[in-house]
Amino acid sequence: MKVKKINLISYNIEVPQLDGTKKSIPYDVRNSLGEIILAPQLKLNGTRLLKNQKIASKIIDCKEDFILLELGEWSVLHEAVEILDVFGKNDVELIQRILESVDVDVEEKH
């Protein structure tokens, strides 16, 4: 069975400060992925909201540096990034991690 492997390791982004300087902070990849698939702009009905919440929890609760998502789970992320128009410069790497995630073959457990 093919799955998608997504890197969950935080990366640094530059955030402007009030004094005009920039501060480097870690980008929370796990929570950001969870928020993307629960965004109000997706106009999810109740059934889809609960389905997406299960996937979001799986991602947020993952303790590994990478997560393996079934193609159906990954397609929820893919669909969300195609619909939403709220992304900026700091999100480029996150979006690349979703859209350029690698296929991995895993054995199904019976």
pLDDT tens for each residue of 26-50 = 999 999 999 999 999 999 999 999 9
Q: Name the CA radius of gyration of the chain, rounded.
A: 15
Q: Is the pLDDT of residue 110 over 70?
A: no
- Other residues' Cβ atoms within 10 Å of the Cβ of residue 34: 20
pTM for the whole structure: 0.89
Give residue 107's pLDDT. Answer: 86
Mean pLDDT of all residues in 87-108: 94
Q: Residue range 53-72: average pLDDT?
A: 97
